[in-house]
Amino acid sequence: MKRLVPLLVLFALAFGSLGKAQSQGFGIYSGFPTLAGVQFQSDGFRAGVGLGLWGFGGDVALILAETPFAPGDALSWYYGAGVGGSIGSVLGVTVITVFPHGLFGVEWQVPQAGFSLYSELQLGAGIVAAAGTAALVPGFSGRIGIIFRP
């Protein structure tokens, strides 16, 4: 554990400053498995919480870079890495999930509006624990959302 914290800080400093990050601000999103969530993002760091199909969860992510499709274009693509977690109940059994993942998305900064629209796909491996057992399973999730820029 003593080695993990400095590595995470070094990772955030090294990659958190690369390129332009996804728009800053507060937002709302929906998708799978999160049906409704809220998020905050600043300088490439994003944190969100929401309600899902089987309970509630949250995630943190680093948006490593964002690039317009064409110079000066309001439409851009981005990528990053994150980890999500959830707790819920399926058929009366408590299920805990941890989901480290990579992410790829597209953002449209709506001209002359105070918001951006985005769509994102997340791929990774889920660690699922239930009823005293745990399993590693392939995982995916997706979201669409609105970011209200300050």
Per-residue pLDDT averaged across 53-66, rounded?
93
pTM of the predicted model as reported, rounded to 2 decimal places: 0.80
Q: List, as one string, the DSSP characters of the chain.
A: -TTHHHHHHHHHHHHTTSSBPSPPEEEEEEEESEEEEEEEEETTEEEEEEEESSEEEEEEEEEEEEEESSTT-SEEEEEEEEEEEEEEEETTEEEEEEEEEEEEEEEEE-TTSSEEEEEEEEEEEEEEEETTEEEEEEEEEEEEEEEE--
More confident residue, 10 or 92: 92
Summarize pLDDT for 79-99 with one digit per residue, the tens: 999 999 999 998 999 999 999
